[in-house]
Structure 1
Amino acid sequence: MYNRGIRGATTVINNEKKEILDETVVLLKEIVDRNQFEPEDISCIWITMTPDLDAIFPALAIREMEGWNMVPLMCAVEAAVQNSLPQCIRLMIQVNTTKSQQEIRHVYLNEAKRLRPDLALSE
């Protein structure tokens, strides 16, 4: 059993509560679908948002999903770097798995595909 990091990112169009929560759920579900793990397999999830997103904590969306209320979650603000991708939500999921690094499928949705085009192509 290994503790692996699974990355994911997505973007929203508007800094609105519903949109941030909805896109966070879409991203997490896609990561789970592609990597086949359960909430019990997770050590923790780090969630970051760019500074232009401040309507709500995206962790709330995960916390409200059935079976996910005991997963340790931490939200933070991404570093404000010039010309970085705006309105972006990122997840780093630390999961216990027997999968190798090469078997892990990272997920980049919406405009976040620009962050890692090499990984977005393998969808």
Structure 2
Amino acid sequence: MIYDAECWLAKRKHINKINIAEMRMLRWMCGYTRKNRMGNEYIRKKVGVALIEDKLRESRLRWFGHLNHRSIEAPIRKIELLNFAHVQRRRGRPKRTRQETIRSDLGYLDLDKNLVADKAQ
């Protein structure tokens, strides 16, 4: 369900929809319906599944580590260095960038960006 999630910049509404679909599947696996009034935490403990949001964060940070281990000359690393300040953006709130998402994920786990050593150099 979250295949290739390391590339996503999912919004809160997308995460909620994935969470709802996952809970439906977990309830179906356990043989419960909403009429049984079993809490999500109880079902997650019974099945032994972590929160979808944590799994998304884990996959994004794993991908971030893989990217940082690549050499500076790698095409994927050159994209990080591009500056789009001269590009005229649309009206409204600016879209959330990958760097902002990674920064918030690292902040949530109290990790430092410099923790990932650049081993490729």
TM-score when normalising by structure 1: 0.28
Greater relative contact order (CA < 8 Å, ≥ 6 in sequence): 1
TM-score when normalising by structure 2: 0.28
Structure with greater proportional helix content: 2
